[in-house]
Amino acid sequence: MTKDLQKRVVFGGIALAIFLPFLLSGGLVFQLFVGLLAIIGTAELIKMHRLAPSSIEGILAMLASLVLTLPLENYLTFLPTDGNYTAYTIVVLLLLGTTVFNLSKYNYSDVVFPIASSFYVGIGFHHLILARMDSLSKVLFAIGIVWATDIGAYLVGMRFGRRKLLPKVSPNKTVEGFLGGIVSAVVVAVIFMLFNKSLYAGYPFWGMLLLVVIFSIFVQFGDLVESAIKRHFGVKDSGRLIPGHGGILDRFDGMIFVFPIMHFFGLF
């Protein structure tokens, strides 16, 4: 095992040890923790764009991702059933309003980035919370698919990788690693489903495995999107919060993509 891999394993284990108790507890504690992750993830994107998180635009972008992430209507009963989306809309309107006070140096094109960043991060973490509100087993199932995809793609790509997948976006990713990630996800999903038939969500066994293939593809697509963003801004990692792994977005890029897709197919 290389030193880099050892570092990833050690600090990945520490991060898991922090994340798991919040996940198991669920409820408001978990939701606030995920809200904090959304704020940090948005701050990482803001800093890539050379915009200070402490600026008005940065604060509003982080607030937007927070209110989009949290199910506000569960706690603020005066809000409509889609309270978080309504609150998010209001914050986005405030973000657009910042162009009024600094039109010569900060225009519509500039404000689109913090808005898009807040949506990208907030909508993914919101669906993580929705999945946890539905059942712990669905979240563990999704996380198992994400981790199996990442580990399988890394190990197979490192051992057998020959053909580059998208070298201009991520030079180290290979077609063999991409396929290895899918196979790993399917194997892990089969193990989950053998022990918990409720994960089928009304789909036949083979139909569910086909969905797992789609989920694994989206996990890797989310990773590629994050790679494209980082390559555009000339950074290696989104942050330095987790040694050997990078920032929040480096660890949650696949989950941000997979949870909305799972919701789309009715798994929660």
pLDDT at 3 over 80: no
Q: Give the position of tokens 């209001």.
A: 90
The reported pTM is 0.91
**C-alpha atoms less than 13 angstroms from C-alpha of 155 in its C-beta half-sphere:** 12
CB 196 within 8 A of CB 139: no
pLDDT on residue 236: 87
- State the Cα–Cα distance between residues 139 and 130, nearest whole angstrom: 9
pLDDT tens for 190-214 read: 999 999 988 887 899 999 999 999 9
Average pLDDT over all residues of the chain = 91
The pLDDT-based confidence of 78 (bands split at 50, 70, 90) is confident
pLDDT digits (tens, 9 = 90+) for 10-29: 777 888 899 999 999 999 99
In the numeric block, the tokens 């809000």 are attached to: 79
Helix segments in the chain, DSSP class H: 3-25, 27-48, 56-69, 83-101, 108-134, 136-160, 175-195, 205-233, 248-264
Question: Which among 34-48, 79-93, 225-239 has the top mean pLDDT?
Answer: 34-48
Each residue's pLDDT tens digit, 116-142: 999 999 999 999 999 999 999 999 999
Instruction: State the Cα–Cα distance between residues 14 and 8, nearest whole angstrom.
Output: 10
- Binned at pLDDT 50, 70 and 90, residue 2 comes out as low
Task: Answer yes or no: is pLDDT of 5 > 70.
Answer: no
* 3-state SS assignment for residue 170: strand
Helix orientation angle between 248-264 and 205-233, rounded to the nearest 10 degrees:
140
